Amino acid sequence: MFTLVVICGPSGIGKSYLKSRILKQDNFENIIQTTTRLERSGEKNAVDYFFVEKSYFEDNKNLFVGISEFDSCYYGFNEHYLYNKLLKNDGICVCSLWNIIGLNDKNINVLPIFLYPSQPSLVRKRLTNRGETKEKIELRVKAMDDELKLFEKHRHLLNRFDVIDDNIENIIDFINSNIGLVYMALNYTDLSPFLNRSGVLLYPKIPNYRYTRVAVIALIVFQK
């Protein structure tokens, strides 16, 4: 199975833009969630999300993985759809931090990217420019505060990028450089891909392949 690049972060942080840049490459599948929220202007079913009735989602929760809830609306990935996509190619999706935590129990190679708002006021400005109502903006700002607290709790699972200080090209380069390492670390019992010519581990804290996918991802990142 190939790797799922998961982009998360507060609303208005630039997740969809980063995803669109990655999808211009030929080696990524576009992975979309199923949601019970209403379509926004300009959105298309089966392009931006799979839009379903709340009753359908609740009656078929066993079909979904990485489930989260926001503003009384469900979000999640159809498990059959997700696995079929990742059997073909690497995938990329946008979701919340809660979705990522929900994916950790599944047999999926995940490369998580968290876009961190070093200037929270920028997020509010982007939401305003997006045409959100004042009520929705306040709701999303509150959700941002909650998500940042959750990020601090689970930061060891994530690769943080500052949306002000980190150039978009640097983030794209990071994804392209690390996606293959995640796949090798999670799918091979033979550690030769991680050895230099002297037989020394390139990532010395990885003693064997039995590390969980999250631990391997974290080690790869923090050995830089």
> For residue 216, what pLDDT band results from cuts at 50, 70 and 90?
very low
Task: Assess whether pLDDT exceeds 50 at residue 34.
Answer: yes
Q: How do residues 83-103 score in pLDDT, each as one tens digit?
A: 999 999 999 999 988 888 778
Task: Kindly state whether residue 84 falls inside one of the protein's structural domains.
Answer: no
Task: Kindly state whether residue 140 falls inside one of the protein's structural domains.
Answer: yes
Q: What is the extent of the structural domain holding 100?
A: 3-31+89-222
Query: Which tokens hold the place of 70?
Result: 């926001």
CATH number of the domain within which 111 lies:
3.40.50.300
Task: Kindly state whether residue 178 falls inside one of the protein's structural domains.
Answer: yes
Task: Kindly state whether residue 102 falls inside one of the protein's structural domains.
Answer: yes
Task: Kindly state whether residue 131 falls inside one of the protein's structural domains.
Answer: yes
Task: Kindly state whether residue 217 falls inside one of the protein's structural domains.
Answer: yes
Q: What is the pTM of this model?
A: 0.73
Tell me the helices (H) and strands (E) count for the chain, helix number first: 8, 9
Q: Between 2 and 122, whose confidence is greater?
A: 2
Mean pLDDT (the chain) is 79
Task: Kindly state whether residue 72 falls inside one of the protein's structural domains.
Answer: no
Q: How many domains does one find in the chain? A: 1
Instruction: Name which of 12, 34, 10, 27 is nearest 146 in CA terms.
Output: 10
Per the CB < 8 A criterion, the answer to whether 86 and 2 are in contact is yes
Task: Assess whether pLDDT exceeds 60 at residue 213.
Answer: no
Q: Where are the alpha helices (DSSP H) in the chain?
A: 15-22, 54-59, 79-88, 97-103, 120-129, 134-154, 168-187, 213-222
Task: Kindly state whether residue 16 falls inside one of the protein's structural domains.
Answer: yes
The β-bridge partners of 162 are: 116
105-143 as b/e, with b when 16 or more CB fall inside 10 Å?
eeebbbbbbbbbbeeeeebbebbeeeebeeeebebbbeb
Mean pLDDT computed over 46-70: 95
